[in-house]
Amino acid sequence: MWGYYLESHYYYLILVVPAMLLALFAQMKVKSTFAKYNKVYNRRSFTGADAARAILDANGLNYIRIERIAGNLTDHYDPSANVIRLSDSVYGVNSVAAVGVAAHEAGHAVQHAVGYFPIKIRTAIVGITNIGSQLSMPLIIAGVIFSFEPLVTIGLILFSLIAVFQLITLPVEFNASSRALKILDSTNMLDDEELSGAKNVLTAAALTYVAALIVAVANLLRLILIFGRRNDDR
């Protein structure tokens, strides 16, 4: 048992810690990049709410509401309520960063409207992924305690859904940003220099999703190595 304890910590140090450091770097990068370009005001004085509304209306999504919520970078699209919620630092702010973030969320609304396939998959598995994230470790631990390998296997499969969800999230987020930048360019909502700033903000945000996938894979690999070794030793 002591050997497995040491082995678990070894894999944690060489796999999970570097991944978590990358995730921390990504969070710091997106915050610093957003702060930088949130001080750069666009020449046409579009606020985040203005940009989102213009994109929604241009795509026939007049029924989707835009609401203001508290916080910083808490922006999201809620398809169940048909509402885009924009944070205090985006909603009424006419900065390059605010317009970029708002356009990204409007991009998600367009994805749902046109039936973008990856977002359909992500929506379909979000429920079971949430269940899996809660039950995976208890099942793995129970399987070890009672020496019942099928429980361990089921736990690992459920835990792997977290990595699958993060993997599917990547094309969803990249595509939303791509849609946003194309619309901002084609409508001349932002000029070339401003568009470059918005792209920097969205690229920094994309790094957080890449980091989240790496963290999920690192944790899954750690568990597989630990319990795979355990089975080999029997």
Tens digit of pLDDT for each residue in 199-212?
999 999 999 999 99
> Is 91 a domain residue?
no
* Total domains, the chain: 1
User: 3-state DSSP call for residue 136?
Assistant: helix
C-alpha neighbours within 13 Å on the C-beta side of residue 223: 21
Q: Is the pLDDT of residue 55 over 80?
A: yes
Q: Does residue 7 carry a pLDDT above 80?
A: no
pLDDT at 145: 87
Element (H, E) at 85: strand 83-87
> What does the block give as tokens for 95?
């900065």
Which one is catalytic: 7, 67, 105, 149? 105
Q: Identify the helix (H) or strand (E) that includes residue 157.
A: helix 149-186
Tell me the mean pLDDT in the region 58-75: 96
DSSP 94: -
Residue 58 falls inside a structural domain? no
The token duo for 206 is 């994309």
CB–CB of 181/202 below 8 Å? yes
Residues 59, 112 contacting (CB under 8 angstroms):
no
Q: How far apart are CA 122 and CA 7, in angstroms?
A: 34
pTM (predicted TM-score): 0.90
Q: Does any domain span residue 187?
A: yes
Is the pLDDT at 57 greater than 70? The verdict is: yes
Domain annotation covers residue 46: no
Is there a domain that residue 184 lies in?
Answer: yes
The verdict on residue 86 lying in a domain is: no
Question: Is 71 among the domain residues?
Answer: no
215: domain range? 2-41+97-106+115-232
Residue 54 lies in a domain: no
Give the rounded percent of residues in the chain with a pLDDT score beyond 70.
Answer: 94
Task: Establish whether 105 is a catalytic residue.
Answer: yes
